[in-house]
Amino acid sequence: MIVCYLGPAGTSDHRAIDLLATISNPEPLPMATVAEIIQTVNFMPGCLGVVPLEDSTNGELTTILDRLIFEAESVLIREEVVLVEDICAFGTDPDLLVTTVVSHPLILELCSQFIKERGLVTRHAVSTSEACKIVIEEKGVGIVALAPPRVGHMAGLQVSAVEVLDTPDIRTRYVLIGREVAPRSGDDKTSLVVTPSVDRVGFLAEIAARFAKHNVNLTSILSRPLQAKIGTYAFHITCEGHITDRRVKDAIDELLDFGASVKLLGSYPRWRGVEVTTPSSLLPLGSVDSSSSAEAKIRLKHPGIASE
């Protein structure tokens, strides 16, 4: 089974294929862009693809999600997995004085504190695997690569520093896409895109009410404004259950009767491992609750007064 991914070999997208449980003996096929992956799956029956949809730094990756929603008619999500990775600094000699660090731009950003504290010069690479190759080619000039342990060890490099991330680990949710709905597993999620026929107050509440009526739990809602109809939104909704479940079908029937357009984005087994979470373990800074001071509650409800 061919599984397209964002290449080159050794990227996080490539390693995510190893986590897939619904296919056996996948044949990875690297591609240059996510758009190419989605269009290949859309027009080539039997071909699958792996794309990222969420990470702990940026949240929902709306650019990729929009491609699935608006640019692909036949692509469906078949499975989800979460890749958790640590990052280390790898070099050819652990005793060498380090002056430069090379990695993918996102990894460099996630290790900004490590880089700043040591006053290192940064260089960009298309992937962590490519960063390791650069270190090997420029052996002895004080350069290290920031890469996952598996990538660095496979390249034959030595660890020169650990715990280089600003936050403990990187989590990315990947989805397997194809042209067929995954069979029921007994513990599934369904992703839908619901678009109202007209823009009106309370439509989102109406959507939630119809799912609640049929005892279907919503796990996420993301709104996307539409260019074609100013003021109208498409809502990307994920709920518990499979599209073949009676309660899910009944909720969709009511949405159609209500005048909404509905697109199925996939039904797939729910990931049972660690989830993608925000980097912070605290409430949003400045949050106010029932135990907060009277002054804080006033500042929340009357920010203009509190700031004078």
pLDDT of residue 28: 96
Which DSSP category does 275 fall into?
P
Neighbouring C-beta atoms of residue 255, cutoff 10 Å: 21
283: exposed, middle or buried (C-beta count within 10 Å: 0-12, 13-18, 19+)? Answer: exposed
99, two tokens = 């002056």
SS3 label, residue 6: strand
Q: What are the helix (H) ranges across the chain?
A: 12-16, 34-43, 62-70, 105-110, 112-118, 128-137, 149-154, 203-213, 246-257, 294-301, 303-307
pLDDT of residue 152: 93
How far is it, in rounded angstroms, from Cα 45 to Cα 128?
A: 32
How far is it, in rounded angstroms, from Cα 230 to Cα 209?
A: 25
Element spanning 247, H or E = helix 246-257
pLDDT of residue 303: 83
What is the β-pairing status of strands 27-31 and 218-225? unpaired
DSSP code string of 13-52:
HHHHGGG--S-SS-EEEEES-HHHHHHHHHHSTT-EEEEE
- Average pLDDT along the chain, 308 residues, taken 10 residues at a time: 88 91 94 96 94 90 94 96 93 91 92 94 92 92 92 93 86 96 96 86 88 95 80 90 97 92 96 86 84 86 64
pLDDT of residue 296: 85
42, two tokens = 């859309």
221, two tokens = 């809602």
What is the domain partition of the chain in residue ranges? 2-84+172-269, 87-168
Residues 182/191, Cβ–Cβ less than 8 Å: no
pLDDT of residue 301: 82
What is the β-pairing status of strands 27-31 and 2-6? parallel
How far is it, in rounded angstroms, from Cα 215 to Cα 225?
A: 28
Domain 2-84+172-269 has CATH 3.30.70.260: yes
pLDDT of residue 2: 95
Fold exhibited by the domain 87-168: D-Maltodextrin-Binding Protein; domain 2 (3.40.190)
How far is it, in rounded angstroms, from Cα 67 to Cα 56?
A: 21
191, two tokens = 């992703």
Of 22, 4, 15, 52, nearest in space to 267 by CA: 22
Give the torsion sign (CA, 192, 59, 86, 130). positive
Q: pTM score, two decimals?
A: 0.85
pLDDT of residue 259: 86
- Give the chain's end-to-end CA distance (angstroms, integer): 65
SS3 label, residue 7: coil
SS3 label, residue 110: helix
Longest dimension (CA), the chain: 69
pLDDT of residue 306: 47
CA angle 224, 195, 245 (to 5 degrees): 110
